[in-house]
A and B are shown apart, each in its own frame.
Chain A
Amino acid sequence: MADTDPGRSFAAGYAPTVGELLREADLQARRMLADIDAATAPARVRAWGEVVEAGAQAWRAIPTSGPGRGAVDDDINTVHDVAKGIHQLIVQRGWPGAGAPDPDAELIVAHLTRAADMVQARHRPHEPIRPDASGDVEAAQTWIMHSVLAATHAVRRSLEQYERALTSSRDRSRLPGPTGELAHVRELIRRIDVAEGLARGYLDLRWPATARGEQLHPLQPTMLETAINVWQTNAARALSSSPSLADLALVVRTQLDGAVFASAVGGAATHAGLLTHLEGVRMQRALTTFEGSSGDLLKTLTLLSGRDRTFQARLVEASTQLRMAYRQIAHDGTSLASSDTLRQRVDIGRALTAVQRALVAGVDLAWRIHDAARDPSLRVRAQGAHRIAARSHQPRPSAGWVEAGDLVHNRLIPAPPPVRYTMRGLTQEMTDRAIDAAAASYSTPPRPQRPAGDGLTGRPHHDRPPPTTRLDPPGHGPSR
């Protein structure tokens, strides 16, 4: 049994303030995020309702800054109602049954309960408060909601791991018994997800509901295909909407992650006999070369953007969704999944088709990056521009390529000619390598039987270099 004495988080004899207790509850909820495991899911689900209830009690104990409490309490009450509904569901379905609650969650409950008791001992919830204390009240509510959100998110993530383990013959045996029914676990995930959405909504977060919903479904190639399509559409639009340097870098970085995924799928497809050994090797080599050219471009882009990296929202959402789709298929723990595991998870032929289309569409994205990098309105950080321009052999103006004032303050400036020249070369190189990678991902069509004695004397088909320009088959490539 865990030690749930909240005093244990503080030095002996120290009496924490309400603020310190709320902070400790928040930190404890954050610690839960770093310890997601399928085995902890039952205990966490069991304790989650108490966390929300303790959060609601602490919230309601806090005096209001206005005359009516109803609207103030609505936010936490709605989350609490969802938690009560889930508790009823658990009782009806009998899972998880009685048992020890999660020790981390118990500590959060203890901190929040103690904070509520301290506030109630000094204030009545309906008493008006001083105008200068309204900021503290709001901060306390934000803190409580954040603790509830972090704990709720951790419980949902644990349940998702539990769901995955249930569907895996290897991992199912490691779950503590009795195990929950898959349909029940999925319903719990969906309902806890509602509570998480409400808490996020209060904290003014904008979360792609579609991306969250995607995680609830079992692994299917359709999820991969959807993520790839969403990425290509959004990346193409973003690259046509005055992208920043950071936007360009994010597209390149996401394409790089796609190359790693394509390599894994290509390997599995080769093992499955969908590609010949030679075709598999050709694809891997082309992807490695593409990674090299993309990496070179990325180095320059990050030098020019520095650490000031903000992205268009649609790029972030689509990249996040695609990254998760890749991870769920191609990662196994902290390593890449083996070919055998990949083939167990997805229809590898269908995944290969999705990858081939992604690589073809990647050529279009590469061209768009090439065009965007030549846009004269593109702005770069002065210090990065200075470093690249300093390597240039072009005749330098007397005042230098970058003005001293811009350099000192690292201002955003139009790209000087040597920088534009460097970017043009790198984006052209990446585009060429993207074309190679797309072409190399397709298997060579069977060679037609040559009629005996046709008299042709050209090179045998298999000695020719692989095709490098057969791209965008009608209906497959994105429209521009």
Chain B
Amino acid sequence: MRNQAIHEQAVPVWMEVIALLTEAADLGSTQIGRRPQHSSLALGAELVAGKAVALLDEADRARLDEVALPAAAAAWSVPDLVAEAERVLRGVSFDLLPPAASEVVIDLGDLVWEATHG
């Protein structure tokens, strides 16, 4: 039987990835007038975040708002936040994640490519 839950060692990193993605999503809608080109990327970040949140249990989901982002994140753009989320996720060994996490990993890889190449 395959493990369907995120290993407890990986949960903090997984939550940080979600925090970075939701930050990207919210920044994209806040800046839609000034940077409309980031709207699509922000929506993509929201969609990936939703898939990532779905893999957490209810207790961890309630704690998501407690995750603090680095102070430097306040100056990051939507593409920066997406790229940082992917960089942070790379630090998680895949054997600590359930198979369904693969979808998040690959979608996030696609999103980084969008952020850097379009």
**Chain A residues in contact with chain B, CB under 8 A?**
19, 23, 26-27, 30, 33-37, 135, 138-139, 142-143, 146, 149-150, 153-154, 157, 200, 203-205, 207, 246, 249-250, 253-254, 256-257, 259-260, 263, 288, 291-292, 294-295, 298-299, 302, 306-311, 316, 319-320, 323, 326-327, 331-336, 381, 383, 409-411
Q: What interface size band does chain B fall in?
A: 35 or more
Cα–Cα, bound, A326→B49 (Å): 20
Which residue on A lies nearest to B3, using beta carbons? A135
**Assuming the A-B contacts A34-B86, A203-B99, are A336 and B36 also in contact, with contact meaning beta carbons closer than 8 angstroms in the complex?**
yes
Other A-B pairs beyond A205-B100, A256-B29, A327-B40, 10, CB < 8 Å: A23-B94, A30-B105, A37-B117, A149-B102, A157-B113, A204-B2, A260-B36, A307-B67, A308-B61, A309-B46
**Complex contact B118–A307 (CB within 8 A):** no
Expressed in whole angstroms, the Cα–Cα distance for A91 and B7 within the complex equals 45
In the assembly, what is the distance between CA of A334 and CA of B38, in Å?
Answer: 8
Q: What would be 25 A-B contacts, judged by CB atoms less than 8 Å apart?
A: A33-B113, A142-B2, A146-B99, A150-B105, A157-B113, A203-B100, A253-B25, A254-B43, A257-B43, A292-B33, A295-B32, A307-B49, A308-B53, A309-B49, A311-B47, A311-B50, A316-B50, A319-B47, A323-B47, A331-B40, A333-B117, A334-B114, A335-B118, A336-B37, A411-B62
Looking at the complex, which one of A143, A263, A310 makes contact with B36 (CB distance below 8 Å)? A263
CB atoms of B53 and A310 under 8 A apart: yes
Known A-B contacts A33-B110, A333-B118, A334-B118; A295 and B29 likewise in contact (beta carbons under 8 Å): yes
Cα A146 to Cα B109 in complex, Å, equals 13
List the A side residues contacting B112 at CB < 8 Å. Answer: 33-34
Question: Distance (Å) between the CB of B82 and the closest chain A CB?
Answer: 11
Contact, CB under 8 Å: B40 / A146: no
**Across the interface, do A205 and B103 meet the contact criterion of CB distance under 8 Å?**
yes
User: Most B CB atoms within 10 A — which of A37, A203, A308, A327?
Assistant: A308
CA distance A306 to B64 in the complex (A): 8
**Distance in Å: Cβ of B38 to nearest Cβ of chain A:** 9
Among candidates A34, A306, A323, residue contacting B40 with C-beta atoms closer than 8 Å: A323
Shortest beta-carbon distance from A211 to chain B in Å: 12
Q: How far is the CB of B48 from chain A (nearest CB, A)?
A: 10
A331 to B47, CA, bound (A): 19
How far in angstroms is the closest Cβ of chain B from A343? 19
Inter-subunit contact B100/A204 (CB<8 Å): yes
Within 8 A of A (CB), among B7-25: 18-19, 22, 25
Q: In the complex, which residues of chain A have a beta carbon less than 8 angstroms from the beta carbon of B110?
A: 33, 153, 157
Q: Is the CB of A139 within 8 A of B95?
A: yes
Taking CB atoms, residues of chain B closer than 8 Å to A320 are 47
In the complex the two chains form, is B106's CB within 8 Å of A149's CB?
A: yes
A332-B118 contact, Cβ under 8 Å, with A138-B2, A260-B36: yes
A-B interface, 6 closest residue pairs, ranked by CB to CB distance from nearest: A33-B109, A333-B118, A307-B64, A306-B65, A203-B99, A308-B61
Which residues of A lie under 8 Å from residue B22 when comparing CB positions? Answer: 302, 307, 309
Complex CA–CA separation, A246 to B29 (angstroms): 15
B39 with A257: CB separation less than 8 A:
yes
Instruction: Take A143-B95, A203-B100, A335-B118 as given contacts and tell me if A260 and B39 are in contact as well, using a CB distance cutoff of 8 Å.
Output: yes
A253 in contact with B50 (CB, 8 Å): no
For A204, the chain B residues whose CB sits under 8 A away are 2, 99-100
Q: Which of B19, B49, B62, B115 contacts A409 (CB 8 A)?
A: B62
Q: Are A307 and B37 in contact (CB under 8 A)?
A: no
- In the bound complex, what is the Cα–Cα distance between A309 and B94 (angstroms)? 23
Select from chain B the residue with minimum beta-carbon distance to A207. B103
Q: Which residues of A contact B118 (CB under 8 A)?
A: 331-335
Closest A residue to B99 by beta carbon equals: A203
Residues of A within 8 A of B29 (CB): 253, 256, 294-295, 298-299
**Nearest residue, chain B, Cβ from A202:** B99
Interface residues of B in 57-108 (CB under 8 A from A): 61-65, 67, 79, 86, 90, 93-95, 99-100, 102-103, 105-106
CA distance A179 to B72 in the complex (A): 45
Nearest CB in chain A: distance from B94 CB, A? 5
Residue of B whose beta carbon sits closest to that of A249: B46
**B55 nearest in chain A by CB position:** A310
- Docked pose: A460 CA to B112 CA in angstroms: 53
Q: Measured between alpha carbons, how far is A316 from B43 in the docked complex, in Å? A: 11
Say yes or no: B103 contacts A309, CB within 8 Å. Answer: no
CB closest chain-A residue, reference B105: A30
Contacts of A309 in B (CB 8 A): 22, 46, 49-50, 53
Enumerate chain A residues within 8 angstroms of B90, measured Cβ to Cβ: 27, 30
Closest approach, in angstroms, between the C-beta of A270 and any C-beta of chain B? 17
